Structure 1
Amino acid sequence: MLVAVNGLKVTGQQLDDGRDALQVLQDEANYPINLKFARPRLTTNEKIFQASMFYPLYALACQLSPEPRSSGIEVLEADNFRMNCFQTLTGVKFMVISDPKQSGVDALLHRVYELYADFALKNPFYSLEMPIRCELFDEHLKTALEQAERQGFSNV
């Protein structure tokens, strides 16, 4: 997927300055030209689908492991993504889908677990097995993700 032409971001087929990317490519006067390509980002539905496919594999790995009380799959790596899973002692799983080359995912997962313990588990209105609906957790999670992105972590 074409993401930039001569440093200008491409959205659909249009450059940030309003010109059509294909017309810029066809015009020989624009050469030499610098093109930047990237894989398309996963949609939210695609990420949810991948996470839902991960759970049965995780359970199967736990059952097939020769190691008693195995923690199952911790990392599932493909050519264009890596899914890391961190399971807490209470069985709650946190997953991050990232670029395969991305580093620092384990630290991010541990930070998310700390936030979960501080803001969800200590909230008297939170029930286990229910979605986390805690404004403080959401705010701190957003801050942690922004901080991770500034430090070079992307595609969370």
Structure 2
Amino acid sequence: MILTLYFVLFSVGHVLLAINGIPVSGKKLEDGTDALDMLNDTANYPLNLKFGRPKMTVNEKIFLASMFYPLFAIASQLSPEPRSSGIETLEADTFKLQCFQTLTGVKFMVIADPTHTGLEQLLKKIYELYADFALKNPFYSLEMPIRCELFDTNLQALLEQADKNGINSI
């Protein structure tokens, strides 16, 4: 009965996240035990199974951001409001994509958990770091990847602070 439920939930986009509170990664538990073996062994019953949606991979986030930009541009052009900034937030049940466009047209995007608030404030802080460490760097060229150790260090510190104390505390 439980195995049937397991496979039905997989078919609607859910994955097994934990068995008896032990996180599952792929087909293995955190301790290296095979998850299917644990489910098949009746000596382990009763089991506490936690299902949910899988976390987005980095490639999925990049793909999502690249799909968002054309929508952003179309919305900017179709808006009856002059100089509209287009779509600023795209919310779904598994993620929130927030976009911040600077006065010079540079766009910053962040993909976060849908429960996070204050993402625009975070993007403005990232823009400040970009202006301070990338744009003022004589070796940085626009439209090129940012290769600046000071920018990377300060961005990492900002993200750690936001993660530790909450986005609203930055």
Both proteins in one fold, TM over 0.5: yes
Task: Tell me which residue corresponds to 1:30.
Answer: 44
Task: Tell me which residue corresponds to 1:136.
Answer: 150
Task: Tell me which residue corresponds to 1:93.
Answer: 107
AA of the residue aligned to 2:156? K
Structure 1 unaligned blocks of 5 or more: none
TM-score between both structures, scaled by the size of structure 1: 0.88
Q: Percent identity?
A: 69
Task: Tell me which residue corresponds to 1:120.
Answer: 134
Greater helix share, structure number: 2
Number of corresponding residues: 153
Task: Tell me which residue corresponds to 1:75.
Answer: 89
CA distance in 2, matches of 1:24, 1:105: 41
Correspondence for 2:55 among 38, 41, 44: 41
CA distance in 2, matches of 1:150, 1:3: 24
Structure 2 unaligned blocks of 5 or more: 1-14
CA distance in 1, matches of 2:18, 2:157: 28
By relative contact order (CA 8 Å, sep 6+), the higher-ranking structure is 1
CA distance in 2, matches of 1:24, 1:118: 53
TM-score between both structures, scaled by the size of structure 2: 0.81
CA distance in 2, matches of 1:81, 1:100: 5
In the alignment, is residue 103 of structure 1 matched against residue 133 of structure 2? no
CA distance in 1, matches of 2:104, 2:146: 15
Q: Secondary structure at the match of 2:50?
A: strand
Q: CA RMSD in A?
A: 1.7
